[in-house]
Amino acid sequence: MDSPNLAVASAQVGGGGMRKSSTLICAPIVAESVAMMVVEIGRAKAAGADLVEIRLDHLKVFNCNQDVKTLIDQSALPTLFTYRPKWEGGQYDGDEKSRLDALRLAMELGADYIDVELQVAQEFIGSIQDKKPEKLKIIVSSHNYQETPSVEALGNLVAKIQATGADIVKIATFALDITDVARIFQITVHSQVPIIGLVMGERGLISRILCAKFGGYLTFGTIDSGAVSAPGQPTIKDILHLYNVRQIGPDTKVFGIIGKPVSHSKSPILHNEGFKSVGFNGVYVHLLVDDIAKFLKTYSSADFAGFSVTIPHKEAALKCCDEVDPVAKSIGAINCIIRRPTDGKLYGLNTDYVGAISAIEDGLRGSLNSSLVTGSPLAGRLFVVIGAGGAGKALAYGAKQKGARIVIANRTYDRAREIADTIGGQALSISDLDKFHPEDGMILANTTSIGMQPKVNETPISKHALKSYALVFDAVYTPKITRLLKEAEESGAIVVSGSEMFIGQAYEQFERFTGLPAPKELFRKVVESTS
């Protein structure tokens, strides 16, 4: 059961008009006073939420009769009342009878939804048998903060929740690995009743976006980033405008960036904006992956149509593909995987070096009288690559193709030696870089994460050593101008930022994903506005 075919019956997702997804967006309201809650409800509506979850357990002072009435009367959106006890991960640790009385009162005063925990659901639903208003829906929830159980255990849990008389089933589990989410998708797709299936934690983020594809009843989005009521919640703004959740339907193709870490990546902004601009039915997500072979084996259906691959998976990804582009094979690393629609086979390629090498060539051409340069301005130059991972190999290979002489500098000398021998070049330990200047006018390319946010004060080479270089390139693109580039510019070198490589590699990936020309101007604009 670990490798579900996540095909969805279209009938499960209602549609109509511009909005493909019937999945509602719910904003958790976790303010400490009723007055603040009312303000937050207004903000949730302005942000585009469909309903609000009023978390009574977060109130510092709670006057039941008066406060529940105020919240219902003054809410600008449909209300879901939750009074979560400590034993289910909430804040309330008082008397059970008072807690359930408050939920019954919310029901009587006109709440749209009540969330009650599985442990007390049978008793609670029994107590309101004849009093339940027609419009009220009871959500019966189960939270597992430790793990995501097996498909079989989840199926039994759904049956158990249904048996209480729930109108809507809610299961929230925790992701120890991104493949855990596939089990929740499988349960969601096959559920005969309305279901909310969410997986907490950063590895579970896709559950909160792709539930719109697999027929989930609702997803939670926060009004402000950081103000989460459960780990891993995205903002309403991201749900609506970054991932365009309203446009996700059963036939939406899923793409994403596989990495660890991955949350810093701007690829989802770029590709989702691109998809939107050309009217392509796809969504592109962050994928925090620990084991890429396991990930690709689990998400093996045609729904998952292509991936970008970043640190540290570029070399392992190559081994997972059925077929690899010859250039990528020489490099020994890929940064893009396409699932062929004809046979479902995985095809790997490397678009990294194309973007970087052309940006470096453009930088050099700009400084030379280009009418005098025939062929590549890299020909004959000494090209020093810092880093011996996938990106380092890709750049070294690309520069070698253009006629440059290659030096690989790495923390572990043996690894540098290994790659230098394969490509045909020199090897250095990174600690020797400061003393290395056999000639002037060299090219330096940093392909490590040294200097990336949050460690922006780090640099792989001292400033005085930069005088020997005509051009310095840094693959790091957050921040756009790293300490390395700043000091290189002060030393008189031409500088090329990682955003150039990032844009270049993204063009080709977009075209491979969609079969359409990349919106290059839009990509530039997006990168400039987010850097």
User: Per the residue annotation, which of 286, 352, 393, 474 is the catalytic one?
Assistant: 352
Concerning whether 314 is annotated as a catalytic residue, the answer is: yes
Residue 141 in tokens:
């929830």
DSSP designation for 233: P
Q: Which two tokens stand for residue 229?
A: 């009521």
Question: Are residues 343 and 323 in contact, defined by beta-carbon separation less than 8 angstroms?
Answer: no
**Residue 257 φ/ψ, nearest 5 degrees:** -105, 120
Our answer to whether residue 525 is catalytic in this structure is no
Contact call for residues 334 and 348 (beta carbons, < 8 A): yes
Rounded to the nearest 5°, which phi and psi values hold at 495? -120, 145
Show the tokens assigned to 383. Answer: 């090209």
Cα–Cα dist 484/491, whole Å = 11
Euclidean distance between CA atoms 40 and 28, whole angstroms? 9
CA dist., res. 201 & res. 351, Å (int): 31
**Among 314, 393, 402, 474, which one carries the catalytic annotation?**
314
Q: Tokens standing for 96?
A: 């059970």
138 in Cβ contact with 165 (< 8 Å): yes
Residue labelled with tokens 């309201």: 29
The helix (run of H) or strand (run of E) holding residue 102 is: helix 96-108
Active site (annotated) includes residue 325: no
Q: Catalytic one among 20, 58, 67, 143? A: 143
Catalytic residue among 20, 170, 271, 286: 170
Q: Are strands 336-339 and 304-309 parallel, antiparallel or unpaired?
A: antiparallel
What six digits make up the tokens of 404? 């440059």
288-300 CB burial, b ≥16 within 10 A, e <16: bbeebebbbebbb
CA gap 370, 79 in Å, rounded: 66
Longest dimension (CA), the chain: 89
Computed from CA positions of residues 322, 326, 332, 334, in that sequence, does the dihedral angle turn out positive or negative?
negative
Q: Give the position of tokens 């991972």.
A: 389
Active-site residue flag, 45: no
User: Cβ contacts of residue 368 below 8 Å, gap of 6+?
Assistant: 377
Catalytic sites, residue numbers: 143, 170, 314, 352
